[in-house]
Chains A and B, each alone.
Chain A
Amino acid sequence: MPLLEIKNLSVQFQTRHGIVNAVRDVNFSLEKGELLGIVGESGSGKSVGMLAVMGLLAGNGRITEGEIWFNGRNISPVAEEFKNDPKGYDRYMKQIRGKDLSMIFQDPMTYLNPVLKIGTQITEGIIKHEKCSKQEAKKRAIALMQQVGIPSAEERFSQYPFEFSGGMRQRIVIAIALSCNPKLIIADEPTTALDVTVQAQIIDLLKAIVKEQDTSIIMITHDLGVVAKMCNSVNIMYAGKVVEHGTIDDIFYRPQHPYTKGLLNSVKTHDSTKRQSLSSIPGTPPDLLKLNTGCAFMPRCREAMKICKDYLPEAASFGEEQYASCWHYCKEHADRIVSKQSERMMSEEVS
């Protein structure tokens, strides 16, 4: 049984300009000990999807449908168990958040409380979830700080966040995330705000954690380099959908979806002595307020066909793990897909 399995997850935001479908019908699963990268541009829904899993969506956002199976239990607020019991959902999420399920954010300074000592912030979760004594918690906190590579941990235990550098703060956030031996850590761009040399240190640390402990990590990032360095498998997201999934070797050496190909090409480095233009993806990221009914990547796709505008492609498999959603790979099922989608559109129009 996978550790996390997401089925048909959709997330909607109510904004002043209209309804935004930030995550649209996402499916994927994660095994124990796996390091999954979720790659996408701003507005691709990569963070929103994971916040939805954590039950941390902003007030104007909600999960409209979908199942989130974590550790054998459906923790979606629209699950049978919680559908009519939002309080029960909150209670349950509070129980597992910070314990089985923890999160690392991009900017450690917004996550850490500036007026509390580091030690207090690390032990807080331990005391709450593990119900142990203060002494015991402190011992564990110091061990954690040593594990994440904070020198002279015992002295720094009683320091405040501003006394730490950016990289050290991120290490503390990681220590807090690790404090209750979580089964899954969701890391939202944990290295984006850091310098290259510090970023490399943090990546090494996260990799070591997965190796030593029985933990899985979902790494949300826009940086393909970071993914190549630390993940086993990758989801490529575009406009709220997973357009391609595969192991890193699949994605980096055998990309199928035109968006993945474009993304990889645009980070390929060239020798500057031979001046040639970088291959880029034309146009701008999609506006989620005005998407066409078909493939959201169509406006920027070099291989777009007429059918792409009106109808959504279905996922086609390549090998064991890889799949991509592009019309180029599901041409033979075109009639079935088109009639299914037209039917749905008709019934939606009627209702």
Chain B
Amino acid sequence: MIQREEYFDPIEKEEQNSEFIAIERKSFVRDVWERFKSNRRALTGLIVLGIIMIITLLGPILSPYSYDGMGTSINSKVSLTHWFGTDALGRDLFIRVLYGIRISLTIGFVTTLINIVLGILYGGIAGYVGGKTDMAMMRIVDVMYAVPSLLYIILLMLIFGSNIGSIMLGMCVSGWIGVARLMRSQVITLKEREFALAAYTQGAGAGRILFRHLFTNAMGPIVVSATLAVPQAIFMEAFLSFIGMGISAPQASLGTLAQSARMYMSIYPNQMICPIAMICLIIFALNFIGEGLDEALNPKGSR
């Protein structure tokens, strides 16, 4: 506190500090993370997904059973020795579900990753170059998109057999188109923004503008749509397996597990419920994460 006699002395320059910045220093990533953290549903989704992933990684190593090892107890109920019971061939369901989750998550994440990379490159180039190139590139995409993706998957399975590879490949044939369209529209609006023009007038090349300036700012909606694409891919695979077009035995995805349990549904409901519950859990978790990211990346009224 100041003394009475110095009330009217001129103030020191340091005390004034007129270029003072009040907001706390924060990078974009940290800012997003903090907003994400404060969203309880999103955080729950992330934790649930994390736990599932850890269990699927460690479970098979620690478990006494293997996914194709048949045992003597057939169609056993849920018990301490077999947490999810066993199937008609005496295989431990818990371990099979874990392997199923592995396959589902791999398909989900790998296809999404490939789709993002392809989509960003294609859409980025089309949007940035513009004009006739853009026109031609987007018409090609329209044609590819006109064929249902199910058809691509079936065709590829005929050629390469029914395994994870051909399912993933099939999902990638036209899966990246959504990302490409999103990236293109983002690039088209962002490239007219003044910071992109500024980089251009500084002599920056197309690559630098596209990746350092446009992509970093377009990332938000793309990341969101990608996180929401993962559960879609998982669901697609489960659906394919369920109608009998998925992974072949003895491997099993969550969809094939549910498919083979269909016959005993009324007698041994645990065989059906366990894999389906896992699908639901994973899809819920991923959707919550996607929603949370959406809110964190596109806050309504940031200040």
Contact = CB atoms under 8 A, between A and B. Distances in A.
Contact flag (A, B; Cβ within 8 A): yes
Interface of A: 15-17, 60, 282-284, 287, 289-290, 298-301, 303-310, 327, 331, 334-335, 338
B159 interface: no
B11 A305 contact: yes
Contact of B2 (A289, A299, A307): A307
Nearest to A281: B18
B303 A304 contact: no
A16 B34 CA distance: 11
B1 A299 contact: no
Contacts of A60: 301
A110 to B, nearest CB: 16
Given A16-B303, A304-B10, A289 B22 contact: yes
Contacts of B11: 298, 304-306, 308-309
Contact of A299 (B6, B8, B20, B301): B20
Contacts of B1: 310
Interface of B: 1-2, 4, 6-11, 15-23, 299, 301-303
A83 B299 CA distance: 32
17 contacts: A16-B299, A16-B302, A16-B303, A17-B23, A284-B18, A287-B20, A287-B21, A287-B22, A298-B11, A299-B17, A300-B18, A306-B8, A306-B10, A306-B11, A308-B11, A309-B15, A334-B8
Contact of A307 (B7, B16, B299): B7
B25 to A, nearest CB: 13
B134 to A, nearest CB: 28
Nearest to B34: A16
B18 A283 contact: yes
Given A287-B23, A299-B18, A307 B303 contact: no
A239 to B, nearest CB: 12
B200 to A, nearest CB: 28
A308 B22 CA distance: 19
B46 to A, nearest CB: 21
Contacts of B2: 306-307, 309-310
Contacts of A338: 7
A60 B22 CA distance: 21
Contacts of A282: 18
A299 B22 contact: no
A221 to B, nearest CB: 23
A282 B19 CA distance: 9
Contacts of A334: 7-8
A327 B8 CA distance: 9
Given A16-B302, A287-B23, A289-B23, A307 B17 contact: no
